[in-house]
Chains A and B, each alone.
Chain A
């Protein structure tokens, strides 16, 4: 049974008379990666700040791992990994001293941090810098600082992660490294919320995608845990009998356009062969069948057009 780690119920946040979040409700299951998208100024960072207890909701309830973020519990923050717009490092300190400070904050022994760096950041500049102290952080490039921030966020493998534009300024290798670290965190049972305008990041990592629009969160995409879309497309003949077969098997409405059936399916491994067999038996010519290519950009555009 899945457990909701993040629960937001009818949350409202106003700045003066202006409401940024209004009656917003959603939840994130344990071990899932939730992608947060939305227009500039839609309130994504505000939502993350509310979930981190940096802002107090005006109404509604927020819960992360059973903690109320605004209570500022030390135990809550020790189980949360954060990478926000700014890296949060002291520019006059070197990489090692900065990470050592946050290790104290997280209650992680330095020997554990060294083992973590050795295992997961070997081959990166961070590994060398932590061994030798390295440059002061203020002399690092932006991308390097972002990597340091990600290294800190995954340190101690927290239970919940909040990332606000985590891949900005990352090069190809660093981006791949972030994806690898995210998958490792998920494998260890971590739950993530990633806010990004880089849709490739969202598509690559997220199980669910929500769009923050008109002060509320709307679901725009849901995929299976293996990353594939539960939406399937079947290029075949049209007939209402065929529609009935698909809907009986998939238990969801099916639509027909441009010569293809589109439908949502929970268990493709068992249901797709059955649908094909029954359609073939009913005389339907099937040309192609497969999961729909996930077009997140198109879905977001469709959402904007419909709302």
Chain B
């Protein structure tokens, strides 16, 4: 745990040391996305929140996994004395925490806008709760998928597109099932969690292989 938290701290401090423009972009993203529920309450639909999770986690996965390989520091990290598990799960934990944290910030801001607009939002808590659960499950899946693809692929540019396609496919299947057999929203959460576990398994497997240091095409 000490080594995982050391990797987590490294990533966090690295993020804090980013250029100011990076923070400005995240602020704009959170601010603009928080207005979406004003149109249809917090039940703006799972697609919006899942799409948001794709953007956030895909970006962090690219930064955390790909840039490390790109500048060659992954080799050093893997031979430094940290176990591969500590490096991998430390990075995954950082991306998940950041993505979920930003998503929750967006949810909180959405509540503020709803309060200011004077709309009754107490009744929307239940939907907000399920949407937040969906967002978290979607984020974990995107993190796991992003981690796997970032090791597996030579070209990291297509990671967000593939995660987006996967998310869209899962949501489309869910809506198909919901239409045919009235599948509840929590079944989507469970399905996303299962896909997350599968992606995480493959990502960890790849991380223990040679591909983790393969060259990257930009």
Binding site for B on A (CB under 8 A): 49, 52-56, 72, 74, 77-78, 80, 82, 84-93, 97, 101-102, 104-107, 136, 149
Interface residues of A: mostly helix, strand, loop or mixed?
loop
Of B76, B80, B213, the residue contacting A106 (CB under 8 A) is B80
Chain A's nearest CB lies how many Å from the CB of B91?
12
The answer to whether A84 touches B17 (Cβ under 8 A) is no
6 tightest A-B contacts by CB? A88-B76, A86-B72, A92-B17, A105-B81, A105-B80, A88-B73
The answer to whether B121 has its CB under 8 Å from any CB of chain A is no
Segment at the interface with A among B6-14, B53-61, B135-143, B176-184:
B6-14
The answer to whether A87 touches B76 (Cβ under 8 A) is yes
| Bound form: Cα–Cα A136–B18 in Å | 11
| Bound form: Cα–Cα A107–B82 in Å | 9
The answer to whether A54 touches B79 (Cβ under 8 A) is yes
New A-B contacts (13) at CB < 8 Å, excluding given A74-B83, A86-B76, A89-B73 = A56-B210, A72-B78, A72-B208, A84-B76, A85-B72, A88-B76, A90-B14, A101-B9, A102-B80, A104-B2, A104-B3, A105-B3, A106-B80
Task: Kindly report which residue of chain B lies nearest to residue A101, judged by CB atoms.
Answer: B10
Known: A72-B84, A107-B81. A93 touches B6 (CB 8 A): no
Please indicate the chain B residues that have their CB under 8 angstroms from the CB of A55 in the complex.
210, 213
Please indicate the chain A residues that have their CB under 8 angstroms from the CB of B208 in the complex.
72
The answer to whether B75 has its CB under 8 Å from any CB of chain A is yes
The answer to whether B71 has its CB under 8 Å from any CB of chain A is yes
The answer to whether B79 touches A82 (Cβ under 8 A) is yes
Of A52, A84, A90, A97, the residue contacting B72 (CB under 8 A) is A84
Interface residues of B: mostly helix, strand, loop or mixed?
helix
The answer to whether B77 has its CB under 8 Å from any CB of chain A is yes
Task: Kindly report which residue of chain B lies nearest to residue A98, judged by CB atoms.
Answer: B10
The answer to whether B13 touches A97 (Cβ under 8 A) is yes
Please indicate the chain B residues that have their CB under 8 angstroms from the CB of A87 in the complex.
73, 76
Please indicate the chain B residues that have their CB under 8 angstroms from the CB of A74 in the complex.
81-83
Which of B15, B17, B208 has its CB near the most chain A CB atoms (within 10 A)?
A: B17
| Bound form: Cα–Cα A240–B186 in Å | 95
The answer to whether A52 touches B10 (Cβ under 8 A) is no
Chain B's nearest CB lies how many Å from the CB of A43?
15
| Bound form: Cα–Cα A274–B78 in Å | 54
Q: List 23 A-B contacts (CB under 8 A).
A: A49-B213, A52-B75, A53-B79, A54-B213, A55-B213, A56-B210, A72-B83, A77-B80, A80-B79, A82-B76, A84-B76, A86-B72, A86-B73, A88-B75, A88-B80, A90-B14, A90-B73, A92-B15, A93-B17, A97-B10, A101-B9, A105-B3, A106-B81
The answer to whether B210 touches A105 (Cβ under 8 A) is no
Known: A72-B84, A104-B3. A93 touches B72 (CB 8 A): no
